[in-house]
Amino acid sequence: MAAQNARLRKLVELQADRIAELEKLIEEVRRGGKRQAAPISKGIRKPNPKKPGRKGGEDYGTKARRALPEQPPDRVLAAPLPDSCPHCRGDQLIGLRTDGQFVEDLPEPTTVLTRFDVAVGVCACCGRRARTASRADLTGCWWDLSLGGCRRRVRGA
């Protein structure tokens, strides 16, 4: 009986330790559910990550620049050196060279005003107005010029 009593006490002690461990785990889960504003972990970081961004130097990629114009410029304007240095305001600037800088301006848009002489008639069947239905009849364009009425094509007009 004493051996069974000792065995049961040992079992109760093990169960009490297991209950304490599970209660601690439940409390951690309960507290973790309340802290939802933390950022999401992306996992383990790389040990030696490279710096972000484009790397400098001669070996990095194609140097992008716009091609020179194929035609000669319509006008050439001179832009002389300023009277003083824009950085230190010194008045002794020494000219080294003249670089060409091209600016291509787009022309002003122009409008085209077109008058269409649209044939208008009356339908002999229903007495309603009939006219050329669309610009497609005149120019091959799809825009509709109809102002209402029967929308039947006037034949032979």
- 134, part of any domain: yes
- 38, part of any domain: no
What pLDDT score does 134 carry?
A: 58
- 127, part of any domain: yes
Domain of 22 in residue numbering reads as 1-33
How far is 146 from 133, CA to CA, in rounded Å?
6
What pLDDT score does 15 carry?
A: 96
Structure tokens at 15: 């169960």
- 153, part of any domain: yes
- 87, part of any domain: no
Measuring CA to CA, how many Å separate 106 from each of 8, 70, 110, 113, 134? 96, 16, 12, 22, 33
- 13, part of any domain: yes
What pLDDT score does 19 carry?
A: 96
How far is 103 from 6, CA to CA, in rounded Å?
98
- 58, part of any domain: no
Is residue 114 within 8 Å of residue 124, measured between CB atoms? Answer: no
Measuring CA to CA, how many Å separate 13 from each of 7, 101, 156? 10, 89, 110
Q: What is the mean pLDDT of each run of 10 residues along the chain (157 residues)?
A: 90 95 90 70 84 77 79 88 84 87 86 79 79 58 44 45
What pLDDT score does 36 carry?
A: 65
- 25, part of any domain: yes
* Total number of domains constituting the chain: 2
Is residue 132 within 8 Å of residue 138, measured between CB atoms? Answer: yes
Radius of gyration (C-alpha) of the chain in whole angstroms: 44
Helix (H) or strand (E) holding 136: none
